Amino acid sequence: MSKFIAPDKVYKERISTCKACPHLQAGNFCGTPLRGSILEDGTKLCGCAMSVKARLHFAACPLNKWEKVLGKRELAEIEAAIDRKSAKEIWDMYAKFVGIHPNSGTNCPPCVKSAVEELRSLL
């Protein structure tokens, strides 16, 4: 199993929260699919496929309805794994799961990149 995957229990709780959220679109996306949306208060919805994003233990809901799962073990795994290739590895995994070309024009690469940068700042 990938070092970036959240436990099943966490995944199910996150998906349950998203299914009850009015911002879930097409049954799977946070805001406009793959593009994201900006709410009236300026909050940016990511446009990610929740079936994938909710599986990533370092991911978080943009409205703080669910948070990252970062215990000592996860931080140690990230610290051991994180390098310049990490964002590309995560993005390639995401594109494969969602079934899109890795070079397609979506909102995902900057979202993944900012998540990796945030993780770097925590280490």
Q: For ligand SF4, what does the binding mask look like between residues 46 and 85, x meaning CB under 6 A? A: ----x----------xxx-x--------------------
Residues from 100 through 119 that contact ligand SF4 (CB under 6 A):
none
Q: Which is nearer to ligand SF4, 52 or 95 (CB)?
A: 52
Task: Give min distance, CB of 45 to ligand SF4, in A.
Answer: 6
- Other C-beta atoms closer than 10 Å to the C-beta of 51 total 15
Mention every residue, 6+ apart, whose C-beta is less than 8 A from residue 110.
none
**Residue 91 structure tokens:** 């993005």
By CB under 6 A, is residue 21 in contact with ligand SF4?
yes
* Angle at CA of residue 49, ends 20 and 18, nearest 5°: 10
| Residue 90 DSSP SS3 | helix
Query: Segment near ligand SF4 (CB under 6 A), from 21-29, 33-41, 73-81, 93-101?
Result: 21-29
Task: Give min distance, CB of 17 to ligand SF4, in A.
Answer: 5
Task: Give min distance, CB of 76 to ligand SF4, in A.
Answer: 26
Q: How far apart are CA 40 and CA 36, in angstroms?
A: 13
Contact in structure between 28 and 51 (CB atoms under 8 Å): yes
By CB under 6 A, is residue 6 in contact with ligand SF4?
no
